[in-house]
Structure 1
Amino acid sequence: MTLVTDLTSRKAATEAPLIDPLAERWSPRAFDPEAVVESEQLRTILEAARWAPSANNSQPWRFIVARRGTAAFASLHGAMAGFNKEWADSAAVLIVNIAETVDAEGRPRPWARYDLGQAVAHLTVQAQHEGLHTHQMGGFDAQAIHEAFGLDERHEVVSITTIGALGDVDRLSDVLREREVAPRQRKPLADFVTVGE
């Protein structure tokens, strides 16, 4: 396996041309622990999520935004599991991605998770366009997050997004560094696309 040494550009070898923020997006673990995401930049990233499509325009996404150095950030970092806890404290921002699975009248929102996923994808692409990087995480204690932020049963913590600037890969453990510099790979389109005739 050939390892990548220049992590500043890991543009994907796509089968069709993509816009740069999609082709250049990847999920680093080495974030710069001194970098700051400016307020206007963060607002723009969240605005991209705001304009994602959703079923019946229900917009069932909710976000908890925590900057490095705050009590909220420390609480989220404490709720992380395994490897995530090892590296995520260097990110500039943590965003908890929450699906409102039941509306205010008690009616189920069956597409809430899907809609949240679209909002997070929009957020991710906008962050890449802004010159930042993101990494999505699923390893965390959802109940601890519920308790820390007073969430009710209508709200499901689905994932956490880290946002920041690239950092020094040599600060990672050997296991994480190996993952960080490994070549990017995707299945070919033919493996998962069926075109009806």
Structure 2
Amino acid sequence: MTKTSTENKIAVHNLIENRWSPRAFADTPVEQEQLQALFEAARWAPSAMNEQPWRFIYATKDDKEAYERLLSCLVEANQVWAKKAPVLFVSVAKRTYDFNGNANGHAWHDVGMATANLVLQATDLDLHVHLMGGFSAEKAREALDIPEGFEAVAMGAVGYVGDPEGLPEQLKARELAPRQRKPLHEIVFNGKWEQK
């Protein structure tokens, strides 16, 4: 099942158009080679000073203990549906530059770039990623042994699309609703900020 927007007026690459964030995941495992391809895509993202400040910690359902550690970092509302995904991961940012130890104010941006690469590679493999801010970075630090100088940024669930009938009613409604995006005139300005 591919969910598309009904509001596209300008053609974009099909990987972007087909990308969406399901909450219903199938039980089908994700092959190790596919996971490696996702992280390889992330590895090739651009970054300030080529710092490559991203790190990823993942677990599959094959390793129940590791999977439960990651799942426990999510807020309860996300655990309800994310526990069905065959793969969970957390993205992590290195907060300082290697070459001088100064704060890297672009680290989170660059982790986002790497994660976007990962998401598009997943789409190309007929996988889907649902990214989540609803998690405890502090719990992730403790449970996953994230060292000082690094900070958890977001979590993600990865897998094949499942049947939305298995979701609670309110989540099922969101799953089946059309994708929506703000119009370009609200987010893009020519030359200076314009409040519409």
Specify if TM > 0.5: yes
Looking at structure 2, the residues matched to 148 and 106 of structure 1 have their Cα atoms a distance apart, in angstroms, of: 26
Range that drifts further, 70-79 or 45-54: 70-79
Q: Does 1:61 align with 2:57?
A: no
Q: Does 1:169 align with 2:164?
A: yes
Please report how far the alpha carbon of residue 103 of structure 1 lies from its aligned counterpart in structure 2 after TM superposition: 3.8
What are the equivalent positions in structure 2 for 1:79-98 lying under 5 Å apart? 79-98=73-92
TM-score (norm 1): 0.91
Q: For residue 96 of structure 2, what is the aligned residue in structure 1?
A: 102
Q: Secondary structure of 1:163's partner?
A: strand
Please report how far the alpha carbon of residue 142 of structure 1 lies from its aligned counterpart in structure 2 after TM superposition: 1.4
- What residue ranges of structure 2 are gaps of 5+ in the alignment? none
Q: Does 1:192 align with 2:187?
A: yes
Identify the match of residue 74 of structure 1 among 55, 68, 71: 68
TM-score (norm 2): 0.92
Q: For residue 123 of structure 2, what is the aligned residue in structure 1?
A: 128
Q: Secondary structure of 1:87's partner?
A: helix
Q: Does 1:25 align with 2:19?
A: yes
Please report how far the alpha carbon of residue 144 of structure 1 lies from its aligned counterpart in structure 2 after TM superposition: 1.4
Moved over 3 A (4+): 103-106
What are the equivalent positions in structure 2 for 1:42-57 lying under 5 Å apart? 42-57=35-50
Q: For residue 153 of structure 1, what is the aligned residue in structure 2?
A: 148
- What residue ranges of structure 1 are gaps of 5+ in the alignment? 1-7
Please report how far the alpha carbon of residue 195 of structure 1 lies from its aligned counterpart in structure 2 after TM superposition: 1.7
* % identity of equivalent residues: 41
Please report how far the alpha carbon of residue 79 of structure 1 lies from its aligned counterpart in structure 2 after TM superposition: 1.7
Contact 2:4 2:178 in 1 (8 A): no
Looking at structure 2, the residues matched to 38 and 92 of structure 1 have their Cα atoms a distance apart, in angstroms, of: 10
Q: What RMSD in Å do the two structures reach over aligned CA positions?
A: 1.4
Amino acid aligned to 1:55: A
Q: For residue 5 of structure 1, what is the aligned residue in structure 2?
A: none
Looking at structure 1, the residues matched to 172 and 62 of structure 2 have their Cα atoms a distance apart, in angstroms, of: 25
Looking at structure 2, the residues matched to 108 and 196 of structure 1 have their Cα atoms a distance apart, in angstroms, of: 30
Amino acid aligned to 1:67: T
